[in-house]
Amino acid sequence: MPPQPELFPGGGGALARAEKAAAQQRADAAQGEASRAQQVRTDAGFPLAQSEPVAQVLVLGRLAHLDRLFEYAVPQKWQAAAPGCRVKVRFAGRECDGFVVSRSESAQTERRLAPLQRLVSEVPVLSPQVLAACREIAERSAGTVADVVRLAVPPRHARAEKAVLAEEAALPGESAADAAAPPVADGVLDHYAGLRAFLSYAGQEGPPVPRAALTLQPVDGWPEVVAAAIAQLPAERGALVVAPDTRDVTRLAAALDGAGIAYATLLAADGPEKRFKTFLRVLLGHVRVVIGNRSAALAPVQNLGLLVVFDDADDLHREPRAPYPSALTTALAYSRSTGAGLLLVGYSLSQSALRLADAGYLKLLSPLPDRPRTEVQPHIELMDDYLREREGPSGHSRLPSRALAVIRKGLADGAVLVQVPLSGYLPAVACVRCGERALCPACHSTLSLPGRNRSLSCRVCGQLVERFECPFCHGDRLRALSTGSSRTADELRRALPQAKLLISGGADGPLPDGELAPGTLVVSTPGAEPAGLRVAGSYRAAVLLDGDALLGRGSFDADVEAVRRWRNAISLVCPASQGGRVLVVANAELPPVKSLLLADSLRFARAVAQTRQELALPPYAVAAELLGEQSAVAEFVRECELPEGTDVLGPVPCGEEYRAVLRVSPVRAPELLAALRATTAARSARKAKHTVRVRIDPPEVF
């Protein structure tokens, strides 16, 4: 029978064809579902996603041997689970957090895939650049990727996420990069060779990736220099600045406010809601400049162009949680994964930066000799033998008359800083007769005198000692082994009753920055020095006391650390042309003390580097510290396939634990790190009774 013509175009014939097409689509969908079911073996009971039904998930577990990706089936209702999204999965019989890393059409395993339990959020909070940096940090720290991701991505806060997404919907297409910033006085950049060229490369996309270390002169405040550097970036490029503590972040924030640069602050002390809200605003591109401490080192800044680390040798940059990475290690990995320029800024050159420069990884940017020395730094004076003999017996005292004269002259025109290495009153005392250090009878820690007319006490267990008797010579009289900031303040209060005396650091905490009126005398521990309204030039004079005690710390980096702390304090004093003076009370013949007279710290840093190379000390050797129960540490060392030439030191007692140190040359460091990760995973897989913590190049390793 010939086909019947359609009486009404688009009528019953068209409807029949539409129904036939719909039936064909259903058949094709069923066939595709069957095909996917053959490719992806899953538990029955849920339909698979239409595309890429397999998700590779990073499960945030705690076991080292499970530090890899696991495949899960993507149900149709969780089709929006894109790479970087936070999910809930079933693992080892319990629900765990995880991140989707990638999606694929087929699975790499033949086992049945469990489904994603829940899509926590459709916002991809783990970017590929951050994940790549986390993987490199885990390798360099002999840790797990999951532990690093926990440090990089803050916990989700639903209310904060809802508020930020509502803000995103209300302001479509707008970002902080669209707003034009006012011009910034950037003349300070011209005083450093190569700094402008570095910033021009940092503002470009693609290679070469510039990396440099900038040693500042005392007259230039680091917040102003960093603000001027950020202002040189193109409007579409972002910047990330990592500083040691909250005080430094606050100082930088004031400089950015003065320059009219919009920014966001990420701090470890922020509450969960505030931190996650700031994190999301950065992720979505609402702000292009982020400042913070080590918790912000992996902030997901869009189109990151410049990554700055201030004072990279500060021990506050070391993460106290596993795998214990430093801010410098994090910055190096993040710079490599994002292609952002890396700039290390400080008033002294760290040994790590010098080694990277010698290896050709970064450039050293030094000041130009275009300004007289009296205009860039204060007059620095050492309490040498000439001054001591000229003064007489008081010249050999802890607080010589020369120091009091410098303080009096400085108080007449401004504020004066007195830096003391230790806090407290008398942090350590000893027997007058035999010189034996006074120890706690309960825990054998050092006893201290917390104040005048107060009893000896232990700062560890709190034990009070009303009457001291030496266990060796039975003497009952004590003398001070070291003097703290409180005792120093008492001595200065009696000598200078007219001065307004402030104590910063120790049990009372650091003083906040603010206006320092003339006649103000600040006694501070290193790192707690308050600054004025402008960081550089806050004080008219400074006296650095007990330099020999600071140099005598039981650490291989005591000399470098002392110079770093002294130069940071010197940077707060106004230049010599404005009357600035600094007196250093220490052995003037020691190289670290002499180096303060030089215009920069490069010569001293190279001398220290040569010594460290000869003695195989970090960073010219890589040291891995193993901490744990004695038998566990010894077993770990036996099981670890150490590369040839590895030095094994210990195990030896270290407090309530035992410690072993594995030392190897930097060339063999990748082999040692891989062996440490493999051994940790093997012990985790067999559920070893005792755990062993691994730290790479901790500051107190030697």
> How large is the average pLDDT for residues 404-418?
96
Give the architecture-level CATH label for domain 40-124.
3-Layer(aba) Sandwich (3.40)
Q: What pLDDT is recorded for position 127?
A: 96
Q: How confident is the model at residue 19 (pLDDT cuts 50, 70, 90)?
A: low
Q: DSSP string covering 53-80, please?
A: -EEEEEE--S-GGG-SEEEEE-BGGGTT
Can you tell me which residue has the tokens 């034009």? Answer: 180
- Which phi and psi angles does 287 have, rounded to 5°? -135, 150
Least confident residue range of 183-192, 514-523, 574-583, 679-688: 183-192
Task: State yes or no: pLDDT of 20 exceeds 70.
Answer: no
* Owner of token pair 């490369």: 201
Q: How confident is the model at residue 3 (pLDDT cuts 50, 70, 90)?
A: very low
Q: Could you tell me the pLDDT band of residue 536, with boundaries at 50, 70 and 90?
A: confident
pLDDT at 1 over 60: no
pLDDT score at 171: 64
Instruction: Give the tokens for residue 542.
Output: 């400074």
Give the model's confidence band at 168: pLDDT under 50 very low, under 70 low, under 90 confident, else very high. confident
The average pLDDT across 64-86 equals 94
Q: What is the pLDDT of residues 312-334, one digit of tens each?
A: 999 999 999 999 999 999 999 99
Taking only the tens place, the pLDDT of each residue in 287-303 is 999 999 999 999 999 99
- The CB density around residue 51, as the number of other CB atoms within 10 Å, is 11
pLDDT at position 628 over 80: yes
Helix (H) or strand (E) holding 149: helix 145-152
**Distance between CA atoms of 143 and 136, rounded to whole angstroms?**
10
Q: Is the pLDDT of residue 573 over 60?
A: yes
What gap in Å lies between CA 669 and CA 674, rounded to an integer? 9
Tokens of 155: 């916990």
Contact 141, 696 (CB under 8 A): yes
Kindly report, residue by residue over 217-267, the tens digit of the pLDDT: 999 999 999 999 999 999 999 999 999 999 999 999 999 999 999 999 999
The sign of the CA dihedral 600, 603, 608, 613 is positive
Range from 25-29, 673-677, 685-689 that averages highest in pLDDT: 673-677
First to last CA, the chain: 99
Q: Which two tokens stand for residue 351?
A: 């040994």
What is the model's pLDDT at position 4?
A: 39
Q: Which residues pair with 221 in a beta bridge?
A: none
Q: How far apart are CA 702 and CA 697, in angstroms?
A: 9
- Once rounded to an integer, what is the mean pLDDT over residues 384-409? 91
Helix (H, G, I), strand (E, B) or coil at 308: strand
Per-domain residue ranges for the chain?
Answer: 1-38, 40-124, 150-365, 373-424+484-613, 435-481, 621-696
458-462-463 Cα angle (round to 5): 75
Q: How far apart are CA 324 and CA 690, in angstroms?
A: 20
Please, what CATH class does the domain formed by 621-696 belong to? alpha beta
Amino acid 25: pLDDT: 59
Of residues 101, 106, 109, 45, the one with CA closest to residue 77: 45
496's enclosing H/E stretch is none
May I ask the CATH architecture of the domain 150-365?
3-Layer(aba) Sandwich (3.40)
Q: In whole numbers, what is the pLDDT of the chain averaged over residues?
A: 89
313, 324 Cβ separation under 8 angstroms: no
Domain 373-424+484-613 has CATH 2.130.10.10: no
Q: In angstroms, what CA-CA distances link 553 with 192, 223, 406, 436, 616?
A: 34, 30, 27, 18, 20
> Per-residue pLDDT tens for 539-572?
999 999 999 989 988 888 999 999 999 999 999 9
Which tens digits make up the pLDDT trace of 85-102?
999 999 988 999 999 999
226 dihedral zone (left: phi>0; alpha: psi -120 to 50; beta): alpha
At residue 443, the pLDDT reads 79
Shared fold status for 150-365 and 373-424+484-613: yes
Residue with tokens 């103000």: 520
Say whether pLDDT at 37 is over 70.
no
